[in-house]
Amino acid sequence: MKNVVIFGGTGFIGKQLVNRLKSDYKVIVFSRHKRSTSELFDSSVSIARLKRTDISKIVEHIDGAKAIINLAGENVGKRWTKVRKQKITNSRLDINSMIVRAVRACNTKPEVLIQGSAIGFYGFSRINFDIDESNSKGKRGFLTKLSISHEESVEQLESIIRVVYLRTGLVLGSDGGALPKMLKQYNLYVGGRYGNGKQWNSWIHIEDEVRAIIYLLENENCQGPYNLTAPNPVINKVFSSTLAKVLGKPNIFPAPAFALRLILGSMANELLLSGVKVIPKRLLEDGFNFKFSNLTDALRDITKN
């Protein structure tokens, strides 16, 4: 079996992906914390220690590999301070730099780099327009600049190997991401929309996220940016009312924008109060079949237990 080397394999998406890939590939997860990471997976998954100043181990595992999948990076969901923002940025760019140097050092290049990114790439100013992969990058905001720099830092590899950019939206699942916090609010009967609820939520079920990544890994004609969002985004007002209906809970406690900004600062504007209507045009054109294209079905599946 060929190697699939994963950075960020211990995160919400990464763990699900590792467990889906391990039966078909030799999966190697790079981590700074080898012992604790090994406890997350069975013995079929290899764990390699990531050393920031040494790429030799990376070269050893990616030489001739099927794929590198880079999902690494500090969580953006904690309150942003100047120091926190720098940590979020450096955690991505430092790994990217190591991957670029390692690929160049390989005798036999890996087949593909699957590079994590986000729909923040497009910015938040085009409120009610359908956004697909042909749209230009945004100009303002921390998440926009982060996504752009995350992609641009590995662009140089496009002349050497196939590179795919995962512009991921709001990933829904029971084990991570934003949904568990929302579920807690509704289960305490204090759920509601964020601000005026008119901002777009371009969402995707965790199962479709993982299926799409594997699809892009295995289809050699796929390269460049792909939006990983479901075909039917909704505004936050609809998202919150749908979630309430699925849970059988009230939806009567909207979180005022001023309160969110007071608590979370600029993070509230970009993560909760802004959004763009993103369409997965390229996945649909390529024939990828979403298992969950409807929000109600996705939420029912996630909350059924």
Single-letter amino acid code for the residue at 171: V
Which residues, 6+ apart, have CB-to-CB distance to 196 below 8 Å? 237, 257
What the block records as the tokens of 61 is 């595992």
Secondary-structure percent of the chain, ordered helix, strand, coil, rounded to 5: 40, 20, 40
- Report the pLDDT value the prediction gives residue 53, as an integer from 0 to 100: 82
Asked if 121 and 64 count as a contact pair (C-beta separation under 8 A), the reply is no
- Report the pLDDT value the prediction gives residue 126, as an integer from 0 to 100: 65
Domain map (residue ranges) of the chain: 3-169+205-229+279-285
Query: Which residues share a beta bridge with 117?
Result: 167
Sequence-ordered strand ranges (E) for the chain: 3-7, 26-31, 46-49, 67-70, 112-118, 130-131, 162-168, 170-172, 200-201, 203-205, 224-228, 234-235, 277-278
Asked if 259 and 195 count as a contact pair (C-beta separation under 8 A), the reply is no
Rounding to the nearest 10 degrees, give the CA dihedral for residues 38, 41, 47, 49.
Answer: -40
What secondary structure letter does DSSP report for 51? Answer: B
For domain 3-169+205-229+279-285, give the CATH number. Answer: 3.40.50.720
pLDDT in tens, the chain (305 residues): 899 999 999 999 999 999 999 999 999 999 999 999 999 999 999 999 999 889 999 999 999 999 999 999 999 988 999 999 999 999 999 999 999 999 999 999 999 999 999 999 999 866 778 999 999 999 889 999 999 999 999 999 999 999 999 999 999 999 999 999 999 999 999 999 999 999 999 999 999 999 999 999 999 999 999 999 999 999 999 999 999 999 999 999 999 999 999 999 999 999 999 999 999 999 999 999 999 999 999 999 999 97
